[in-house]
């Protein structure tokens, strides 16, 4: 891994997908990785995999919504925190049960913010470290029937920018940045899209449009989703390793460009 300093990196939500692939990539580059998972079972499975490859990777349960679990981060001197865990909850904002919106904000915003505050106490004291928030390109443009999820990504993106400027005002050398993935085939999108049809059914304002909506979403994600997470994992690794990360790291490039063009056109 050349001259890059070895760091201790804590990542949330590593059972599969981007979190797991980034954890393995960072460990293979020699960093000490604390690859945390929602459940103890997933931690044990990941731990076995890392042991078989003799990777410097430990795994333990860290449910981001659980105060006691978050406290476990205090046991480690963390150089890089990667807030990756999230739930995908979709559905019409006109009628979504508010408990689902609450859950989405608990997992995607409030849990990560509480964990970040806890880890920042160490980092600010030491005057070094990087906090990465895995947000989304969907945190920059809206999409119908996705708001219970995308509102949390808009919120975390604006929170990350604010944290960065507040730390700059403190004269701190602690970094805050965003990784904004486009669409990747991890299973996340399929679970997110399907979930809403458990409550968005015969009573929905959109009942006559449901088949059309579902077919459109499936077609969109089939076309857009990247089969491999490699391009976004490279961005996580880059953000974790550089001394002064930029504000945003995006991939795939053509989806990021598309979002920038839509924003420039007034969206």
Ligand X SMILES: NC(=O)c1ccc[n+]([C@@H]2O[C@H](COP(=O)([O-])OP(=O)(O)OC[C@H]3O[C@@H](n4cnc5c(N)ncnc54)[C@H](OP(=O)(O)O)[C@@H]3O)[C@@H](O)[C@H]2O)c1
- The residues carrying an active-site annotation are 149
Q: Rule CB under 6 A: is residue 25 a binding residue for ligand X? A: no
Q: How far is CA 103 from CA 64, 85, 89, 93, 127, in A?
A: 12, 13, 9, 14, 33
Could you give the CA distance from residue 120 to residue 116 in angstroms, rounded to a whole number?
6
In angstroms, what is the minimal distance from the CB of 200 to ligand X? Answer: 20
Nearest alpha carbon to residue 25 among 82, 98, 92, 99: 82
* Of residues 18 and 239, the one with the C-beta less far from ligand X: 18
Among 144, 154, 148, 68, smallest CA distance to 111 is for 68
Query: Half-sphere exposure (CA, 13 Å, Cβ side) for 122?
Result: 18
Please tell me whether residue 186 binds ligand X under the rule CB under 6 A.
yes
Smaller CB separation from ligand X, 69 or 241: 69
Nearer to ligand X, 18 or 174 (CB): 18
H or E segment to which residue 253 belongs: helix 253-264
Size of the site for ligand X (CB under 6 A): 26
Helix ranges, 106-146 (H): 111-126
Q: Which of 11, 17, 80, 157 binds ligand X (CB under 6 A)?
A: 17
Give the residue at shortest CB distance from ligand X.
17
Is 133 a binding residue for ligand X by CB under 6 A? The answer is no
* H or E, element range at 151: helix 147-169
Residue placing its CB nearer to ligand X in the complex, 120 or 132? 132
If one asks whether residue 154 binds ligand X (CB under 6 A), the answer comes out as: no
Decide: 93 and 148 in contact? Cβ < 8 Å: yes
Choose the stretch contacting ligand X; rule: CB under 6 A; options: 114-122, 182-190, 212-220, 259-267. 182-190
The least CB distance from residue 70 to ligand X, in Å, is 10
Nearer to ligand X, 85 or 96 (CB): 85
Residue among 195, 181, 178 nearest 240 (CA): 178
189 contributes a contact to ligand X by CB under 6 A:
yes
The structure tokens listed for 18 are 């981007």
Q: Which of residues 65-84 bind ligand X (CB under 6 A)?
A: 65, 84
Residue numbers at the binding site for ligand X (CB under 6 A): 12-13, 15-19, 38-39, 42, 63-65, 84-87, 107, 134, 136, 181, 183-184, 186, 188-189
């Amino acid at each position: 891994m050349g001259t890059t300093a070895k760091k201790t990196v804590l990542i949330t939500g590593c059972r599969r997908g981007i979190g797991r692939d980034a954890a393995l990539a960072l460990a293979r580059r020699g960093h000490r990785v604390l690859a945390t998972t929602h459940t103890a079972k997933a931690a044990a499975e990941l731990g076995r995999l890392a042991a078989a490859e003799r990777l410097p990777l430990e795994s333990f349960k860290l449910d981001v919504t659980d105060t006691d679990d978050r406290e476990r981060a205090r046991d480690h001197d963390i150089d890089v925190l990667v807030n990756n865990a999230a739930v995908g909850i979709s559905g019409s904002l006109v009628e979504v049960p508010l408990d689902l919106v609450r859950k989405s904000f608990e997992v995607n915003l409030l849990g990560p913010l509480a964990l970040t505050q806890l880890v920042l106490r160490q980092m600010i004291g030491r005057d070094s470290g990087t906090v990465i928030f895995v947000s989304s390109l969907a945190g920059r443009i809206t999409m119908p029937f996705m708001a219970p999820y995308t509102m949390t990504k808009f919120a975390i993106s604006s929170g990350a920018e604010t944290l960065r400027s507040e730390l700059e005002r403190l004269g701190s050398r602690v970094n805050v940045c965003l990784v904004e993935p486009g669409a990747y085939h991890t299973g996340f999108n399929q679970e997110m899209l399907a979930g809403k049809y458990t409550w968005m059914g015969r009573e929905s304002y959109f009942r006559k449009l449901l088949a059309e909506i579902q077919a459109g979403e499936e077609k969109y994600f089939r076309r857009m989703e990247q089969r491999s997470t490699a391009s976004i994992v490279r961005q996580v690794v880059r953000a974790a390793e550089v001394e002064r990360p930029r504000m945003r790291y995006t991939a795939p490039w053509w989806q990021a460009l598309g979002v920038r063009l839509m924003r420039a056109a007034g969206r």
